[in-house]
Amino acid sequence: MPQFEFSTFLPQMVWLAIFFAVLYFGVVRLTLPKVGRVIEAREDQVSGDLSVAQGAKAESDRMAADYDAGVATAQDAARAKVTEARTAATVAIEAKLKQSSEAIAQKSAKAQADLDAARSSALAQVESVAADAAADIVERLTGKRPVDTVAATATRSVLG
C-alpha cells in the first residue's frame, strides 16, 4: 500500500496538511460566517415573529375586553330601556285605569240619579194610587168623598 511507504509518507503528510488547511479555512472562513448570518437572520425573524404574535395577542385580548365591555354596556342599556318601557307602560295603564274608574263613577252616578228619579216617580205614583184608593174606601164607608188634597196628605203621612 502506497500510504504506508515511508519514502512518500512525509510528502503525503505535507499535502494532507495543505489540503486540510485549505478545506478547513475555506469552510470555516467562507462558509461558516454565511451559515452563522443565516442562523442569526433566522433567529431575528423568529424573535420578530414572536414579538409580532405577542403584540397581536395583546391586541386581540384588548379587543376582546373592549367587546365584552361593549356587550355589557349594551346589556345595561337594554335593561334600562326595558325598565323605562315598563315604567311607561305602568304609567299608561294607571292613567287608563284612572280614566276608566272616572267613567265608571260618572256612569254609576248617572245610573244612581236615574234610579232615584225612577224611585221618586214610582213613589209619587204609589202615593197617588194609594190616595185614590183611600178616597174610594172613605167614600164607600161614609158615602162622602174626601177632598183630594186631604186624602193625599193623609196617605203621605201614613206612607212616609
Radius of gyration of the chain (CA): 62
Q: pTM to 2 decimals?
A: 0.43
pLDDT at 149: 84
Provide the pLDDT for residue 1.
53
- Tell me the average confidence (pLDDT) per consecutive run of 10 residues in the chain, 160 residues long: 70 89 84 87 94 95 96 96 96 95 93 92 85 86 84 80
What are the sequence ranges of the domains in the chain? 10-159
All 3 cell numbers of residue 160? Answer: 212616609
What's the pLDDT score for residue 9? 77
